[in-house]
Amino acid sequence: MTASIDTPAGRIPCVSSSLNFQDRLGTAKVRAGIGRNSYMVDPGLYALGQPDTDSPVLISANYKMSFDNLREALPGRNAWILVLDTNGINVWCAAGKGTFGTDELVGRIEECGLRSLVNHRRVIVPQLGAAGISAHEAQRLSGFKITYGPIRAADLPEFMDSDHKARPEMREKTFSTTERLALVPVELVHALKTLFFIFPSLLILGGLAGTDGLRASVALGLLDTAGLMFGILAGCVITPLLLPWLPGRAFAAKGIPPGIACALLFLFLFLPAASEIKLGALATSAWLLIIPAVSAYLAMNFTGCSTFTSLSGVKNEMRIAVPVEIGAVAAGVILLAVSRFLF
């Protein structure tokens, strides 16, 4: 916030189109999964540049990254930004939940006195917000025409300069390598967090099996942890990055080849220590089941991050994938247990 201006709609805070160090640090943190649930701006009106009664009104969500993305895309422009209350969720997800919705938009327009602020009767809503907003309903209720802007904020200047016409590419959601890469850290953090919680039980299991003293027990526990980490590497990093090129359409299926590759890598790296940590034929086959299954499961969960999966499809995929994943992990655990307790 740089200052504020007085308008017929009250005092409105001014914001800049350039992000400072604090903003960039905030983005980096939420990308890494830190404080994502409380990264918010206050709902309401903001002035970007020196807007007047003819300036465009852009609608955003109160997730700070959504808001920052929008203002960063508009250097040297004058516009009003109307931030809806989406509980700190981005536009697309909030539209899916209905919080970025017709009622909130109409209510916010009314509450913020948009009518007395601008002469025109048009608001620009991000296209991905259309899953929550009914343009004709919102217009009927608010008197403002809803114009759907491009998907990417970066395309807004061109969109506004060309009489609110979007090229077809501006209307299609992509899922490029860069976009997928940006999602990897947060997925990794979530998976490692789960691993952290089951780590003590892995150590205890190692201890139960270790008949050769404490050192061997700890080694077994660490080996199991390392094995699961290879599954996480396959499902949370390699599968998302190679997504378009992996065979199959179901995400779980796409997770299997990286899972097998990582299982082989894991076995290759830890085979030299086999004599000390009991990595026999049974344990080898166990890991060939567990790592690909973990990878397939995590890959399946990447559907939620992706930009092209349907709920019908996900349910379809899960009907087969979930039993297979559970079965493979269970079989693997039994094989591991047999290899450790009976031999």
Partner 1 sequence: MGKLVYLKDVVTLGLDGEKCSGCGMCAVVCPRAVFEISGRRAAIIDRDSCMECGACALNCPTKALHVKTGVGCATAVINSLLGIKTSGCDCTIDQYQTGDTGSPAAGSNCK
Return residues touching partner 1 (CB under 8 A): 36-38, 87-89, 93, 95-99, 101, 127-128, 130-136, 148, 151, 166, 168, 171-173, 175, 186, 190, 243-244, 249-251, 300-301, 303-304, 306-318
- Which residue's entry shows tokens 């109160």? 62
Q: Which is nearer to partner 1, 156 or 223 (CB)?
A: 156
* CB 281 to partner 1: min, Å: 33
* CB 137 to partner 1: min, Å: 8
* CB 24 to partner 1: min, Å: 22
* CB 234 to partner 1: min, Å: 17
Residue 311 phi/psi, 5° resolution? -65, -40
Name the pairing type of β-strands 44-48 and 10-15: parallel
Q: Which is nearer to partner 1, 116 or 194 (CB)?
A: 194
* CB 86 to partner 1: min, Å: 9
282 within 8 A of 339, measured Cβ to Cβ: yes
**H-type helices in the chain, by residue range?**
21-31, 64-72, 91-97, 102-111, 114-117, 135-142, 156-161, 177-209, 214-232, 239-242, 251-270, 274-277, 281-301, 311-341
Q: Which is nearer to partner 1, 53 or 316 (CB)?
A: 316
Q: Which is nearer to partner 1, 57 or 125 (CB)?
A: 125
Q: Which is nearer to partner 1, 29 or 173 (CB)?
A: 173
Strand partners, 40: 63
* CB 282 to partner 1: min, Å: 30
Q: Which is nearer to partner 1, 36 or 115 (CB)?
A: 36
Strand partners, 5: 12
- Contacts of 27-33 with CB under 8 Å at 24 or more apart are 27/65, 27/68, 30/64, 30/65, 30/186, 31/182, 31/185, 31/186, 32/185, 32/186, 32/189, 33/185, 33/186, 33/189, 33/190
Residue 306 phi/psi, 5° resolution? -75, 170
* CB 265 to partner 1: min, Å: 26
First CA to last CA across the chain, in angstroms? 67
Q: Which is nearer to partner 1, 79 or 91 (CB)?
A: 91
